[in-house]
Amino acid sequence: MRLPEDERGVTVQIGAILLFAILVIFLSTYQAYVVPQENKAIEFQHSQAVQSDLVTVRNSILSAAGSGAGRPESVKLGTRYPVRAFFVNPPPATGTLKTNKSGTVTIANATYAGSNPETKDFFEEDNVLNYTTKSLVYEPQYNLYNTAPSSVLEYGLLYNDFGSVETVPAITDQKLVTNQSGNPTITLVTLNGTYFQNGVGATAIDPEVLSGPYDSEQTIELTGNDRAPITITFPSRMSAGRWENSTSLDPPNNPHVKDVERANGRVQVTLNATYNYTFRAARVGVGSKTESPDPAYITTDAETATVGETVTFEVRDKYQNLVKKNVSVTMDPPSIVGEDVKWTGGDGRVSFEFTGTAQNATARITNNPAPAEYVDFDVKPAREEPNGGVGNDTSPYTVAWNTSWIVNNNNGIQYSSSNNTLVIDPDTAPDPISVTANVTQNDDSLAGVFVDYASNSTGIVTGFSPSEATTDETGQAIVDMGWNSGSGATTIYATAGGSDNLTVKTVSPGAIKSPPSIDSVSVTATGGSGKITVSAGLSDPDGDLKNATITVVNVNTGNEVYTTGIPSVSGGSDSFTREIRIDKKQEYNVTITVYDQAGASVSESRTVST
């Protein structure tokens, strides 16, 4: 017996197969189109987050350069996709953060506008300054966001590099040429070191100040001129046009910038020569193999030193910051406490205490003869204090020609005080003539001070031997002055901190006459009356007495209380007597001065009590 056929289950099976096919198609479509779009959006969001991280890194680097207060910051290199139970994700997206060698930043035509002589030497020696630097670059390795830019940090500017398409400045602006509190400012921050990290997770950047910070007393002023304005030239992935039009270097809006252009494959910024520019620079290290810059020059605030004084010297690098390396400094001559070679500490400073005087003492960066790498100065003697101690008096030296000594120690010489002239008789004056200047400080004679002698021509005065001498315990520095007879006059100079000048001329043979003399002096007081009687006998070998004066000074107060002229004296021999009434019960110094017709004079003093 044959059973009847039943086909009701076929429809169910076919329906199940169709439903499964639809599900497969849906899942395949979702995997092929939706999952990639969602993952691409995740990568885009990560790209935005990385730029935010890099802005934080940039600010930390600038903070380290400016104040030394940089701190570690993290950058999330890559991203992971959400777990999908029925779908397949690509491997996590990774990223690379690394340093790339950018090249050299060149600052040209910069002239130092300050007064520090060693800084001036440095800029005269290196009119073109070169600073090597690197850029910090983030490169994503996304699976889907294929047009994602690389992010580049250089010279304080963070921008996006879309490869051959374009470069676009990111959130930050440039720092090269700005206006800081009304002052045109050049700010150069270079990067040094080797950094490379690749992966998905976060990595840390810890800025290290290798030269700086620049917000300190080391900032200087630079200037250019219309014919040779300051230029800043540097390599960059971003075009000169982008630097000019997409940052604050735009000349119409930045009065300090004259032009931005491409020059030999690099960006060149030409500054407006109207301004002086504050120059701030720093080197910041990231990663490993960081290196502080070498020393560039040595300087000190002290133009002179004093025996017993400690002077501090600063060794700076070309960023104008104190070096952080240990640098050897040699002192010559070594009239100092301790060794003549010392090393700077981490603050770039070294100190020497002086034990002896010296002229043109030299503090030098060891074994380097470049002019900017040594500093010359004088070491002066310490002033003796009344109690026998030593003081470091920094008041100016007083230098004065000792004309009385010159006249008294040479024949045929006369000094005219009316026109400050030393007159030489060619017949009787010696050749050479011994001359000297006295050096004092606060009226105290100074020993061990170098005095330079010079003249403004070689007509009458032919020179000094030696041209410099050291003062003795009386404050004198005696040298020989050569001379020729002739017409006219020559000015001679004595210099030792302060200076003094004296006119020298010759006269016809026999024209110089002998000075007058005071042969006798009598100064008496009538007890308790306040009356003083002054008498003097005068003479002149040439018979040309002219006049005399009497000056009375109170010994206790130092005040001049009386002066009078005696015009009646004349001839070759004369005398006078004068009665003077002044205060009682005081002590006085009475000075008599006699003059001849040639202007020569002589004085004598007596002390009397009323």
The closest alpha carbon to 188, from 219, 156, 218, belongs to 156
Report CA-CA distances (Å) from 401 to 358, 407, 435, 503, 567: 23, 11, 8, 11, 30
Q: Are residues 339 and 475 in the same domain?
A: no
Give the domain-ending residue among 254, 285, 316: 285
Q: Are residues 529 and 602 in the same domain?
A: yes
Report CA-CA distances (Å) from 212 to 97, 136, 167, 260, 339: 25, 19, 31, 28, 29
- List beta partners, residue 465: 480
Summarize the confidence of residues 186-192 as an average pLDDT: 96
Q: Are residues 320 and 178 in the same domain?
A: no
Residues contacting 517, CB < 8 A, separation 6+: 538, 539, 540, 594, 602
Give the domain-ending residue among 358, 384, 410: 384
* Global confidence as pTM: 0.62
Degrees to nearest 5, angle at CA 133 with 132 and 137: 155
Residue 2, pLDDT > 80, answer no
User: pLDDT, tens digit, for every residue of 308-317?
Assistant: 788 899 999 9
The proportion of the chain whose per-residue pLDDT surpasses 70, expressed as a percent, equals: 91
pLDDT of residue 159: 93
User: Given the structure tokens 């035509």, which residue do they identify?
Assistant: 109
User: pLDDT, tens digit, for every residue of 356-366?
Assistant: 766 678 888 87
Please say whether the dihedral angle defined by the alpha carbons of residues 509, 511, 512 and 514, taken in this order, is positive or negative. Answer: positive
Q: Are residues 494 and 350 in the same domain?
A: no
In a domain, 601, yes or no: yes
In a domain, 579, yes or no: yes
Q: What mean pLDDT is reported for the chain?
A: 86
In a domain, 36, yes or no: no
pLDDT of residue 306: 78
pLDDT of residue 48: 94
CATH number for 366:
2.60.40.1080
Indicate the SS3 state at residue 405.
helix
Higher pLDDT pick, 395 / 237: 237
Q: Are residues 231 and 380 in the same domain?
A: no
How buried is 185 (Cβ within 10 angstroms: 0-12 exposed, 13-18 middle, 19+ buried)? buried
Encoding tokens for residue 485?
A: 């007879």
User: pLDDT, tens digit, for every residue of 62-86?
Assistant: 999 998 888 899 999 999 999 887 8
The strand pair at 304-306 and 374-380 is best described as: parallel
Domain that holds residue 362: 295-384
Domain count of the fold of the chain: 4
User: pLDDT, tens digit, for every residue of 43-54?
Assistant: 999 999 999 999
Q: Are residues 380 and 458 in the same domain?
A: no
The residue type of 318 is: K
Q: Are residues 123 and 186 in the same domain?
A: yes
Encoding tokens for residue 494?
A: 């004595």
User: pLDDT, tens digit, for every residue of 525-546?
Assistant: 887 778 899 999 999 988 888 9
State the Cα–Cα distance between residues 206 and 74, nearest whole angstrom. Answer: 9
Summarize the confidence of residues 431-451 as an average pLDDT: 88
| Region of residue 11 (left: phi > 0; alpha: psi -120 to 50; beta: else) | alpha
- Residue pair 340/334 in contact by the 8 Å Cβ criterion: yes
Q: Are residues 545 and 596 in the same domain?
A: yes
CATH number for 550:
2.60.40.4070
